[in-house]
Amino acid sequence: MKKILLFLCCILSLEANAQVADSIKKDLFTAPDTVKRLHSKPWAMVPPAVLITYGVLSFQIKPIRQLDYTINGEIAKTDPTFSTKAESYFQFAPIVIVYGLNLAGISGKNTFIDRTALLGLSGGILGISTTVLKHSTNRLRPNGADNLSFPSGHTSTAFLGAEFLAQEYSQKSVWYGVAGYTIAATTGVFRLYNRDHWFSDVVAGAGFGILSTKLSYLVYPYIRNAITHTNKQGKSTTLVPTYQDGMAGFSFAKQL
């Protein structure tokens, strides 16, 4: 009898695991239709591109660079002792809001897995672009701390999060996007007042942050479809998250 009960428990366990895996695949990885693509038109890429262009032109056009010096000089006169570390927290606030809303039961545009993958892709795009530029442009910070001034990393992260929040929740209310961008702009202002960055650094950082998120929402459905799809012969390829013995990972399966 014990052997029979053990056998039945194994069968039930296998069936339950199969149902869970099938549910995960169906609900989270039915590519590409369940992914809400970038809802903006191609011209939506123009504003962040303009911000980036402005920052780049500051290396060549003297009036733009002179504005950097003027703004920094005015800040030094009006608030010479200003100092805060608030931007180190503000830069992540829009991202925290997205997951906080999700925990509160207010669902966003995409599932948790897709949303997190989109955020990771955005961060990857931003991290590579800003790291390369910081080391190649070699611009000295206003406070003289180092030569990694362009573009502003804190500002770019904040605007990445602001666009992330807008993408996921602006369809529910425009005020989510307004809140995210207000926090991001405040982060940029703090970077100026702490004299960690020039004005053009902050403007370019905003552009890179927004563009990174927009690009990830545009290309992610195609990446996901390449990983998890059914081909013309009806054979499927699947990548699903796993969690066993306290270890998280992914399970890859391809039908031959």
Q: What does pLDDT average to in each consecutive run of 10 residues of the chain (256 residues)?
A: 39 35 40 52 88 98 98 96 95 98 94 94 97 97 97 98 96 96 98 98 98 93 76 50 48 52
Task: Using DSSP, state whether 172 is helix, strand or coil.
Answer: coil
- What pLDDT is recorded for position 37? 57
Nearest Cα to 29, choosing from 255, 213, 251? Answer: 251
Q: 198: which 2 tokens? A: 């020039």
> In order of start, what are the domains of the chain with their CATH numbers?
38-227 (1.20.144)
- What pLDDT is recorded for position 226? 79
pTM of the model: 0.79
- What pLDDT is recorded for position 40? 53
- What pLDDT is recorded for position 20? 35
Does residue 32 have a cis bond before it (omega within 30 degrees)?
A: yes
- What pLDDT is recorded for position 223? 86
- What pLDDT is recorded for position 30? 41
- What pLDDT is recorded for position 22? 41
What own/partner pairs with CB < 8 Å and gap ≥ 24 does 222-228 have? 222/32, 223/121, 224/29, 224/31, 224/32, 224/35, 224/114, 224/117, 225/31, 225/32, 227/31, 228/25, 228/29, 228/30, 228/31
